[in-house]
Amino acid sequence: MHNVSEQKLIALDHAHVWHPYSAMGSGQPVYPVVSATGVRLTLADGRELIDGMSSWWCAIHGYNHPVMNHALRAQMENMAHVMFGGLTHPPAVELAQQLVSLTPASLQTVFFADSGSVAVEVAMKMAIQYWHAKGQPGKQHFATLRHGYHGDTFAAMSVCDPVTGMHTLFSDVLTRQFFVDTPQCRFGEPCTDAHIAPLAKTLEAEHQHIAALILEPVVQGAGGMRFYSADYLKKAHALCHEHGVLLIFDEIATGFGRTGKLFACEHANIAPDILCLGKALTGGYLTLAATLTSNNVAETISTGKPGLFMHGPTFMANPLACAAGLASLQLLRDTPWQQNVQRIAHGLEAGLAPCRAFESVADVRVLGAIGVVELHHPVEMETLQPRFVDAGVWVRPFGKLIYLMPPFIINEDDLATLTRAVTSIVADLS
């Protein structure tokens, strides 16, 4: 297949390969990547693109990193995979220990899964099983925020925004959850009683039916790239405790430094009962996710009926993926990631600031290594994507949003090229 021409490769792709959020036979452009190093993707036609997306936010160390490559080669010599039922192995145990040491102190147990969506499914099942073991089987629903996104599997879809989300087609078959208005207090601002009132009202009225509140702390990702007050998290945490509702933080997109803190919950200095991690966990090398919880939740589930947690992925704790996770965490420790994220934040703020003057732009916002240009109207992907490619950058807008989440290793020149491309193309839209 490596010797197939670019045209033949694209033709075969269009004929047989179904891409995310796409239609077969649509003819939408796809760009064959033949290699990737650092922050650059090399296309089959020889063009190089500066990656502004970190491959959907996971390749925080860039591509083809020698430390990551070495770790995977070394693990491959021992074993690529072994079942996790009844067996264990050093990479999984060590990675679990490191995740426990890095996350809030109350989180002491780790359940490994294959993807972020599955980590959310696991978290939701944990919450339901917890209350069942506590003799409250009626607590089988969830409270969540509008404009949230938690994945594409069935339970995860049920807590994605039912109106603006991507899953309205399935609304009649999804479990009905309790949706709360999106926080109107922006990041850095206080959260007033009026801001928290919709959540307070929902939990007070429905807590007997609610197993947990699930939300993306500080940053709502694919549901709208909204940044909201860390103070809201503090108040939400207190309300959950008051009403006997577990708190689940979905940090699949925000974990491992993206917001400027190692985990976004650190902005509020609070701990959830259950924490979902994924994406950057392996530095973008292999799919792996983790759901962490407290000893209290784990022991309650384990001592209640049926006496075990009812989930077990075939590729759970895959040794190669765990080795990638260990190498990625080592790279974070060995590099000044906080300074890099701060440097990226300054570059994004300076580079995207001119967009504020354009008529087509509703808002420009930056938090950590996340830069967002929100437009008044949705973009046309079919026309916009090729323009970014022609500009030498990989940026994939969605809805009304053009956003950047570059790898932490990006330098000032490449970051400036990214922001110039965004600013130029947004200027033309105006």
Catalytically active residues, by annotation: 21, 149, 250, 279
Place of tokens 């694209």: 10
Q: Which of 280, 350, 355 is nearest to 65 (CA)?
A: 280
CA 273/CA 253 separation, integer angstroms: 18
3-class secondary structure, 277: strand
Cβ partners under 8 Å of residue 216, min gap 6:
145, 148, 149, 150, 223, 249, 250, 251, 253, 254, 264
d(C-alpha 45, C-alpha 34), whole Å:
9
Fill in the DSSP letter of residue 267.
G
Q: How far apart are CA 304 and CA 129, in angstroms?
A: 8
Three-class secondary structure of residue 113 per DSSP? strand
Helix axes 381-390, 412-429, angle to 10 degrees: 140
Q: How many CB atoms within 10 Å of residue 136?
A: 14
| β-strand pairing of 274-277 with 246-250 | parallel
Burial of 390 (0-12, 13-18, 19+ CB in 10 A): exposed
Sign of CA dihedral 135, 303, 143, 105: positive
Q: Are 402 and 355 in contact (CB under 8 A)?
A: no
